[in-house]
Amino acid sequence: MNIKLALLKGDGIGPEIVDSACLVLDKVAEKYGHKIEYKSYLAGGCAIDATGVPLPEETLQGCLDSDSVLLGAVGGPKWDTLPGNLRPEKALLGVRKGLELYANLRPAKLYGALAERCPLRVTDGFDILIVRELTGGIYFGENGRREGKYGPEAYDTESYSITEIERIGRVSFDAAMKRGKKLTSIDKANILETSRLWRETMHRLSAEYPEVEYSDMLVDNAAMQLIRNPAQFDVIVTSNMFGDILSDEASQLTGSIGMLPSASLGEGTRGMYEPIHGSAPDIAGKGIANPIATILSVAMMLRYSFSLSKEADDIEAAVEKALDGGFLTADLGGTLNNAQVTAKIIEFIV
């Protein structure tokens, strides 16, 4: 297979972890006879510095012309004082919107080798898939500033259509059918009208999937239940903002946010794949960033965009062997640097 891949390395540790992931992808491609064509584009803070905008037209077009997109991380204190429409994070929103990527899949798995790193000391482990709606909700609603009763005020508006809820709902039910056939929908239906519509729509969809054990849970309870007993969850589906928050909470239960990959998908096969962590400017350039989340994102890409399950399995198995062997970066309690961990993972792909 020939794969045309757009690279958005971004800021901070982004270039380091993307380069590591590409080395692993090259190894798998060599093993199975695939050809990968890479092309890098500017996005985020580096794009602002070079062009004055976080997402140049050339970058979005390059993503549209590619088979899939691999992103590192964007942002950093250097750009924190910019107005909202020029923040590096606008690049992410722009790519997701431009590629019509409405479903964000964020797996959170506790590996046996990292059980001691879990702050809960979970003995049985857990394997959760969080499905986050990605192009609607409060992040994309009407916003601004105005004069209010008590002076200047700011506002952000959340809205969801039935169509938006149905399509993310179907993604989550389909995912549950391929896993443990258990789905929990997270909302705030006791307060928010958008959540009441969300719940009504999910209930209607659940009738089409009788094999899936479906339940609702309020978001504040869900935050507690993730701490109390994460193993109770299989697939979670929720709105844009709730998914953003809960997936970061879940990441800390895995031992390090450096372990969590993600996939952003739409109607077709093209997706954007990225680690869920940030650009970590404090360690950028030191060669110590954990590359595993980005490497696992490549495995997700192979599975979801290209239906290359064996290749994805090889990467995931190599990561687990590296962890079991104690080949860890500092965030996991180890002493190896980025390049050394990457080399070990490549070594285990045979």
Question: Given CA atoms 276, 278, 279, 284 in this order, what sign does their dihedral have?
Answer: negative
Catalytic residue among 220, 282, 313, 324: 220
248 is catalytic: yes
Look up 244 and say whether it is catalytic: yes
In angstroms, the CA 268 to CA 274 distance is 18
* Burial bucket for residue 310 (CB in 10 Å: 0-12, 13-18, 19+): exposed
Q: Is 11 an active-site residue?
A: no
Query: Which of the residues 11, 67, 234, 244 is marked catalytic?
Result: 244
Among residues 188, 214, 234, 314, which one is catalytic?
188
> According to the 3-state scheme, what is the secondary structure of the chain?
CEEEEEEEEECCCHHHHHHHHHHHHHHHHHHHCCEEEEEECCCCHHHHHHHCCCCCHHHHHHHHCCCEEEEEECCCHHHCCCCHHHCCCHHHHHHHHHCCCCEEEEEEECCHHHHHHCCCCCCCCCEEEEEEECCCHHHCCCEEEEEECCEEEEEECCCCCHHHHHHHHHHHHHHHHHCCCEEEEEECCCCCHHHHHHHHHHHHHHCCCCCCEEEEEEHHHHHHHHHHCHHHCCEEEECHHHHHHHHHHHHHHCCCHHHCEEEEECCCCCEEEEECCCCCCCCCCCCCCCCHHHHHHHHHHHHHCCCCHHHHHHHHHHHHHHHHCCCCCHHHCCCCCHHHHHHHHHHCCC
Which residue among 26, 127, 216, 248 is the active-site one?
248
For the annotated catalytic residues, the residue numbers are: 139, 188, 220, 244, 248
